[in-house]
Amino acid sequence: MQPPQDTTTTAADRSPHARASDSGPRRRLANAIRALSMDAVQRANAGHPGAPMGMADIAEVLWNDFLRHNPANPRWFNRDRFILSNGHGAMLLYSVLHLSGYELSMEDIMQFRQLGSKTPGHPEYGYTPGVETTTGPLGQGLANAVGMAIAERTLAAQFNRPGHTLVDHYTYCFLGDGCLMEGVSHEVCSLAGTLRLGKLICVYDDNGISIDGKVDGWFTDDTPLRFEAYGWHVVRDVDGHDAEAVKHAIEEARKVADRPSLICAKTIIGFGAPNVCGTHGVHGAPLGGDEIQATREFLGWEYPPFEIPDDIYRDWDARSRGARWETEWDAVLGDYKRAHPDLAREFERRCRAELPEKWSQHAAEALARANERGAKEATRKSSQAALNAYGPYLPELLGGSADLTGSNNTNWDDCTALTHKDSDGNYIYYGVREFGMSAIINGLALHGGFIPYGGTFLVFSDYARNALRMASIIGAQSIFVLTHDSIGLGEDGPTHQPVEHVASLRLIPNLTVWRPCDSVETIAAWRSAIERRDGPTCLILTRQNVAHQARDAKMLQAIERGGYVLRDATSEPEALIIATGSEVELAVDAAQALTERGRRIRVVSLPSVEIFEAQDAAYRESVLPSRLTARLVLEAGATRLWASYAGPKGKVLGIDRFGESAPANALFQHFGFTVERVVAAVEALLSE
């Protein structure tokens, strides 16, 4: 079936405000965005010219009249944050970054979508100066923006003092119909309204078009009413091609301090392209040479591709005012240091993402105490103990749970809820919003000043998976606490028993997965997550109690290497049992039974495959000697990824089917996770 076709043909037909050839100064500045966008997409023969051309007038007003930033220092801490949630419109962002003076040359613009360029097909954090987050999967940029707005307000509550407004910036977000159709937008915008994030201002590109055509066939929500129901301030029916109307709408939004704002801007997708604007044909394809020439004539843009007149560059250039804004803030910081020296040092430490002085010593002592305590408990409880050990030393920890606080144990003794009435909190009750929570956490991490974490059941990581993937792409220090990690959760049955989830998370590049076996490994896992600055961590935790494993000092140090020898034979071992999480206890018990039979067994605990595989070859060989081919791998989950550890002569004992509803002990028996079966499996390997 073909998508519905649009029948309109001219810009004038589509809007009484479609004065595309208007030669006023503001329109010329906006047309520079349009020209760069259509030319870059045409040169790349790929991309999305429609949104940049449609939102160019809005971007010009925002960047030239309101956005406080410094092109010479894109990481200036008190800058306003700008998020392009409809990230397919990347050339809009690249154009304004280039025009306003960021280190993004015309050659970079011309290399749009080319290998190794600063201008990838969607904005990517770390590639392009001035890009605050990676966007493209629709709705998640909006969620990141909510996280950044939470970060700004919470930092302001923690550090601002009478007469010293140190943290004071806005979060602006552009979004489109696709962002609003994605369910994550509901999750995060509902929470943003509840928290009353007054410095979050979003501009909705209401152009009525998505990839398949006119959205009135599949998206007829009353969007303004929807956001008013969330508790947002809504500015309706703004002409997105009228600079004064846009300016007035943003001014109105900035005056509302107790609610986030949505500006509903009516625009024409591909504004200025006379034959295709307003149609889905301009959404995601180059305009073509003839239409580009027609657009130049229609806009009155007389310059060849990739040429911007000097006067337009001068009017866009934000370097001077950006330097002034940062200098003025430096003076505020200087006054703050004199008035509140201790707070200032703490603020600067957190802005630099540095851990507190003597952190390593404290973390080592916490690990030693956990080893001495020797608790038999669920690792979700051990995780809470870790938070109680580390939390008092880390005011940057900002936690939460998706309506499972009592199950995830993500709160700790000094937690204070963050609410619209009390912004000086360190715990967020996210409600049943796993995806939204995870994407918000990414925004918190990217903003800076916090180490964010959030909890849900492991099985519900499916809901949040794309946010976990985005955290890994971005390299955000997001910590995901995922509990009830196997059939060990028991009676709730297969809908809640994760089987394939740990394996699937291990497939995500740059995501570190920890599945600790007891309280000691759990506190070590938390330390690893806190110290990791270049990517996210998943902590996979049990509901059921697990036994403490005895360790000497060497073993304690080895946990941080992701895998280590937990129990060894008194002489040369003849078989290996490799295990993670709750199955380590089973491995140790089976090894003891085998030892009593005269067998020589080494037990290897492998809480983090990713970290273990990052170790040097000599260490890995010392833990898993290649000469030992009788190998049994134990994990109560999918088995396919363990083949390389088992080797051609080994075996994996796992679960490659969905679970059942029954008490945990009965399930482990039913699925063969017993000492007797492990002993028999090892004996069979040795007999071969």
The CATH number of the domain holding residue 679 is: 3.40.50.920
* 166 and 303 in a common domain: yes
**Structure-block tokens of residue 429:** 């009750």
482 and 614 fall within a common domain: no
- 679 shares a domain with 576: yes
Residue 611 annotated as lining a ligand binding site? no
Q: Is 310 annotated as a binding residue?
A: no
Residue type for position 521: E
**Residues belonging to the active site:** 434
Q: Round to whole Å and give the CA distance between 504 and 525.
A: 19
Q: Is 12 part of any domain?
A: no
Would you state the pLDDT for residue 21? 54
Tokens matching residue 114: 């080319």
In a domain, 418, yes or no: yes
Q: Is 48 annotated as a binding residue?
A: yes
Q: Tell me which H or E stretch contains 255.
A: helix 243-255
Mean pLDDT of 257-261: 98
Q: Residue 523, annotated ligand binder?
A: no
Average pLDDT of the residues of the chain: 96
658 is in an annotated binding site: no
Please, what is the end-to-end C-alpha distance for the chain in angstroms? 59
**pLDDT value, residue 205:** 98
Residue 411 pLDDT more than 80? yes
Q: Is residue 44 part of a domain?
A: yes
Task: Give pLDDT tens digits for 497-532.
Answer: 999 999 999 999 999 999 999 999 999 999 999 999
Rounded distance between C-alpha atoms, residue 377 and residue 548, angstroms: 8
Instruction: Write the DSSP string, 15-34.
Output: -TT--TT---HHHHHHHHHH
* 347 part of a folded domain: no
Same-domain status, 583 and 627: yes
Q: Check if the beta carbon of residue 284 is closer than 8 Å to that of residue 66.
A: no
Are 125 and 202 in the same domain? yes
Q: Is the CB of residue 73 less than 8 Å from the CB of residue 327?
A: no
Give the separation between CA 684 and CA 671, rounded to whole angstroms: 19
User: Beta 377-378 vs 545-546: how paired, if at all?
Assistant: antiparallel
Nearest alpha-carbon partner for 144 in 102, 196, 86: 86
- Provide the 3-class DSSP secondary structure of residue 539: strand
Q: How far is CA 666 from the centre of its chain?
A: 38
Residues 284 and 393 in one domain: no
177 annotated to a ligand binding site = yes
Beta bridge partners of 239: 266
Lookup result for tokens 């600055």: 533
Q: Would the pLDDT of 656 be above 50?
A: yes
Tokens 């001495």 belong to 372
Q: Please report, for the domain that includes residue 301, its CATH number.
A: 3.40.50.970
Q: Are 517 and 383 in contact (CB under 8 A)?
A: no
Tell me the residue type at 352: R
Does any domain span residue 597? yes
- What is the pLDDT at residue 23? 59
Structural domain ending residue among the three candidates 540, 572, 599 = 540
Instruction: Report the C-alpha gap between 82 and 371 in whole angstroms.
Output: 46
493: left (phi over 0), alpha (psi -120 to 50) or beta: left
Question: Is residue 156 a contact partner of residue 66, using CB atoms and an 8 Å limit?
Answer: no
User: Could you give the CA distance from residue 97 to residue 83 in angstroms, rounded to a whole number?
Assistant: 13
Task: Count how many domains the chain has.
Answer: 3
pLDDT tens digits for range 586-608: 999 999 999 999 999 999 999 99
In eight-state DSSP terms, residue 63 is I
Residues 14, 18: Cα–Cα separation, whole Å: 7
Query: Is the domain of 594 the same as that of 677?
Result: yes
On whether both 503 and 425 belong to a single domain, the answer is yes
Does 2 reside within a domain? no
Instruction: Determine how many CB atoms are found less than 10 A away from the CB of residue 303.
Output: 14
Cβ–Cβ < 8 Å for 514, 607? yes
Q: Quick check: 484 pLDDT over 60?
A: yes
C-alpha torsion 237→241→245→248, nearest 10 = 100
Determine whether the annotation assigns residue 548 to a binding site. Answer: no
**Could you tell me if residue 284 is inside a domain?**
yes
Indicate the DSSP class of residue 426. S
Model-level pTM?
A: 0.96
Burial bucket for residue 619 (CB in 10 Å: 0-12, 13-18, 19+): middle
Whether 639 shows a pLDDT value over 80: the answer reads: yes
3-state secondary structure of 357: coil
Please tell me whether residues 126 and 38 are part of one structural domain. Answer: yes
At 291, list the tokens.
């239409």
Yes or no: say if 386 and 198 are a contact pair by the CB < 8 Å rule. Answer: no
Give the separation between CA 126 and CA 115, rounded to whole angstroms: 15
Of all residues in the chain, the percent with pLDDT exceeding 90 is 96
pLDDT tens figures, 87-135: 999 999 999 999 999 999 999 999 999 999 999 999 999 999 999 999 9
Residues 534 and 565 in one domain: no
User: What whole-number distance in Å separates Cα of residue 238 and Cα of residue 495?
Assistant: 46
Type of residue numbered 549: Q
Task: Give the whole-angstrom CA distance, residue 90 versus residue 319.
Answer: 22
pLDDT more than 70, % of the chain: 97
Q: Are residues 606 and 533 in the same domain?
A: no
Structure confidence by residue, pLDDT tens digits, 18-70: 455 565 899 999 999 999 999 999 999 999 999 999 999 999 999 999 999 99
- Three-state secondary structure call for residue 456: strand
pLDDT tens digits for 155-209? Answer: 999 999 999 999 999 999 999 999 999 999 999 999 999 999 999 999 999 999 9
| Segments forming the whole domain that contains residue 614 | 561-686
Q: What does the alpha-carbon distance between residue 131 and residue 98 come to, in Å, rounded to a whole number? A: 12
Is residue 351 in some structural domain? no
In the structure, how many helices (H) and strands (E) does the chain have? Answer: 28, 20
Question: Among 323, 339, 372, which residue terminates a domain?
Answer: 323
- 205 and 285 within one domain: yes
Q: Which of 323, 340, 371 is the last residue of a domain?
A: 323
In which band, very low, low, confident or very high, does the pLDDT at 688 lie, cut at 50, 70 and 90? confident
- Mean pLDDT (whole number) for 227-256: 98
- The DSSP code for 128 is S
CB 408 within 8 A of CB 455: yes
